[in-house]
Amino acid sequence: MLDSYNRNINYLRISVTDRCNLRCLYCMPEEGFKLLKHEEILSYEEIIEVVNIAVDLGITKVRITGGEPLVRKGIIDFIKMISKNKGLDEVTMTTNGILLSDFATSLVEAGLSRINISLDTIDAKKFYDITRGGDLNKVIAGIEAIQKAGISQIKVNCVIKKSSKEPDAKAVKAFCDSKGIQARFIHQMNLEKGQFSIVEGGSGGDCHNCNRLRLTANGKIKPCLFSDLEFDVRKLGAKNAIIKAIGEKPASGTYNNSGNFYNIGG
């Protein structure tokens, strides 16, 4: 479906949870934040209903994200269900990779077509610090497992401070090159301050060509990451919420005071 600026909206990012097994410095506070109540979180059946309607309205690609999607129970069966929709060309996921080695084969068998794994450094101590406790070896094992499982494409998302030439970014690039994986560099953003920029090696942050909608774990369709606009699928019904979100998708982002990456889905 075309929005008011003639952009073809065909991509839906679905956050299946606001929970995460890491606490990245730039994404989530360590403590003192409010998680969604279980009854607020959409059931998988509700998400599938939104996806089916979204596909009727022109969505052809979905990305499953979070929070950390692999911490939600039943994620493999959910991917199996979603992959049955013949209108979807691609079912993809963004994960921190910590649990990936446990799920790699089942993810591919369930129909996941591509995966993005977040990795900002290949220095174990720095990784531990950035993620407040994460084990780099688990992510590397996860990357190797999903490669072995034979997924068609793996990308690494690397958050940078200033440039893709900074030492950690260069080391991540060298690691990716050695594995035949593409690295994408994402400038650290600030939703509240409206600080965002184009993803190097990706399509995020390019408002002119933005083709995305987001579905939050509690059922809000968000037309733009950098806007407070949201349309509740439980209150409005999925079809209305999607049509309104596409109709009101802003020309470009400003700022967002109503959420963070972990509860909107990056």
> Which residues of this chain interact with ligand SF4, rule CB under 6 A?
20, 22-24, 27-28, 66-68, 96, 118, 261-262
Lookup result for tokens 């560099």: 185
In this structure, what DSSP letter does residue 219 have?
Answer: S
User: Is 3 near ligand SAM (CB under 6 A)?
Assistant: no
Tell me the closest approach of the beta carbon of residue 205 to ligand SAM, in angstroms. Answer: 9
User: Is 127 near ligand SAM (CB under 6 A)?
Assistant: no
Tell me the closest approach of the beta carbon of residue 93 to ligand SF4, in angstroms. Answer: 12
Strands 220-222 and 11-15: unpaired
Residue type, 130: I
Angle, helix 136-149 to helix 124-131, in steps of 10 degrees: 100
Q: Which is nearer to ligand SF4, 72 or 249 (CB)?
A: 72
Tell me the closest approach of the beta carbon of residue 134 to ligand SAM, in angstroms. Answer: 10
Q: Sheet containing 61-65: which strands, arranged edge to edge? A: 182-187, 153-160, 114-118, 90-95, 61-65, 11-15, 212-215, 220-222, 231-232
Q: Which among 40-48, 65-73, 211-219, 247-255 is the span making contact with ligand SAM, rule CB under 6 A?
A: 65-73
DSSP E strand boundaries for 127-199:
153-160, 182-187
Q: List the single partner that 28 binds among ligand SF4, ligand SAM, none, CB under 5 to 8 Å by kind.
A: ligand SF4
Binding track, positions 12-41, relative to ligand SAM; x by CB under 6 A: --------x-----xx--------------
For the CA atoms of 185, 122, 182, 20, the dihedral, rounded to the nearest 10 degrees, stands at -70
Tell me the closest approach of the beta carbon of residue 43 to ligand SAM, in angstroms. Answer: 20
Q: List the single partner that 157 binds among ligand SF4, ligand SAM, none, CB under 5 to 8 Å by kind.
A: ligand SAM
In this structure, what DSSP letter does residue 255 have?
Answer: -
Return the H-helix or E-strand segment holding 63: strand 61-65
Return the H-helix or E-strand segment holding 237: none
Helical H segments across 44-166, by residue range = 44-56, 75-83, 100-110, 124-131, 136-149
Q: Which among 48-56, 63-71, 143-151, 246-254 is the span making contact with ligand SAM, rule CB under 6 A?
A: 63-71
Tell me the closest approach of the beta carbon of residue 159 to ligand SAM, in angstroms. Answer: 5
User: Is 164 near ligand SAM (CB under 6 A)?
Assistant: no
Q: Which is nearer to ligand SF4, 73 or 86 (CB)?
A: 73
Strands 153-160 and 114-118: parallel
Q: Which residues bind ligand SAM (CB under 6 A)?
A: 20, 26-27, 65-66, 68, 94-96, 118, 157, 159, 186, 188-189, 261-262, 266
